[in-house]
């Protein structure tokens, strides 16, 4: 029986447990493929095959064992509707720093504050781990999320022309951001 949507209730934000269950891997693959298909510039070209999406999630799931990566998921009635990652720097001169990566929310539930909740939870967990500086980049093009990071108080640094291809193959400048955590 399909899970009913409970979006009139708050989503649950939690750390993705590892080893990652097959059903969570499947939910993450659906979210990633849907986001790329909708134009999100998050490291892939459209169409992204199911098998390539699975290879990606299995690879980052392995990183969870080392403790250098944190993956958060937002669930609505158990179903994954959003995710965000924190890649912790392991080199001795950069352990105060981490990168926010792969923030994405299902197209059907955007503009309801889910990504804001995910990123603020990531920030809290980053602080707890002694991280004082967050960095990230997004696309300057239609596949990017500049308005989102501006709204969350991230500072824009600049961008590199043609840094990556948007999902449709068009080269786009990236937009580099940082935030100092109090
Ligand atoms: C960017 C993304 C994660 C935002 O998710 P979301 O849950 O819809 O974001 P929120 O509802 O928390 O938005 C918070 C604020 O960001 C800004 N914002 C978010 N999406 C926006 C958009 N498409 N256009 C303009 N402003 C936007 C708004 O100020 C918004 O507040 P408001 O809705 O009260 O106006 C989502 O659009 C997405 O998954 N995009 C594709 C993936 C991607 O580009 N990720 C970023 C690269 S790592």
Would you state the structure tokens that stand for residue 58, as one six-digit string? 């299995």
Q: How confident is the model at residue 5 (pLDDT cuts 50, 70, 90)?
A: low
Q: How confident is the model at residue 8 (pLDDT cuts 50, 70, 90)?
A: confident
Q: Where are the domains of the chain?
A: 12-131
- Which pLDDT does position 19 carry in this prediction? 94
Q: How far is the CA of 114 from the centre of ligand 1 (A)?
A: 9
pLDDT digits (tens, 9 = 90+) for 87-137: 999 999 999 999 999 999 999 999 999 999 999 999 999 999 999 999 999
Kindly indicate whether the domain formed by 12-131 is annotated with CATH number 3.30.365.10. Answer: no
Q: How far is the CA of 144 from the centre of ligand 1 (A)?
A: 10
Would you state the structure tokens that stand for residue 92, as one six-digit string? 């001795």
Q: How far is the CA of 41 from the centre of ligand 1 (A)?
A: 13
Q: Which residues pair with 70 in a beta bridge?
A: 86
Q: How confident is the model at residue 4 (pLDDT cuts 50, 70, 90)?
A: low
- Average confidence (pLDDT) over 156-161: 98
Instruction: Tell which one of 74, 111, 113, 142 to mutate to probe ligand 1, the residue whose CB is within 8 A of the most ligand atoms.
Output: 111
Nearest residue to 100 (alpha-carbon basis) of 67, 125, 64, 65: 125
| Residue pointed to by tokens 């840094």 | 163
**123/87 Cα distance (integer angstroms):** 12
- Which pLDDT does position 31 carry in this prediction? 98
Average pLDDT, the chain: 95
* 84 touches 36 (CB < 8 A): no
Ligand 1 binding site (Cβ under 6 Å of any ligand atom): 35, 40, 42, 102-105, 110-116, 138, 144-145, 147-148, 151
| Whether pLDDT at 2 is above 60 | no
- Pick the residue whose CA is nearest to atom 10 on ligand 1: 113
- Which pLDDT does position 128 carry in this prediction? 97
Sign of CA dihedral 11, 12, 13, 18: negative
- Pick the residue whose CA is nearest to atom 47 on ligand 1: 138
| Whether pLDDT at 48 is above 60 | yes
Q: How far is the CA of 66 from the centre of ligand 1 (A)?
A: 30
- Average confidence (pLDDT) over 141-164: 97
pTM summary value: 0.96
- Average confidence (pLDDT) over 22-50: 98
- Average confidence (pLDDT) over 43-65: 96
pLDDT digits (tens, 9 = 90+) for 20-31: 999 999 999 999
């Amino acid at each position: 029986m399909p899970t009913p949507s409970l979006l009139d209730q708050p989503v649950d934000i939690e750390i993705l447990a590892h080893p990652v269950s097959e059903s969570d891997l499947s939910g993450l693959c659906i979210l990633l493929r849907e986001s790329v298909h909708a134009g999100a510039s998050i490291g892939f070209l459209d169409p992204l095959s199911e098998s390539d999406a699975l290879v990606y999630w299995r690879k980052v799931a392995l990183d969870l064992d080392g403790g250098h990566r944190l993956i958060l998921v937002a669930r609505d009635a158990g179903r994954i509707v959003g995710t965000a990652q924190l890649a912790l720097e392991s080199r001795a001169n950069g352990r105060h720093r981490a990168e926010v990566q792969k923030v994405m929310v299902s197209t059907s539930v955007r503009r309801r504050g889910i990504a804001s909740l995910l990123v603020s939870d990531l920030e809290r967990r980053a602080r707890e781990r002694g991280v004082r500086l967050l960095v990230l980049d997004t696309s300057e093009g239609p596949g990017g999320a500049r308005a989102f990071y501006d709204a969350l108080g991230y500072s824009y640094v600049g961008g590199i022309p043609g840094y990556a291809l948007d999902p449709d193959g068009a080269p786009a400048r990236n937009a580099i951001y940082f935030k100092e955590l109090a």
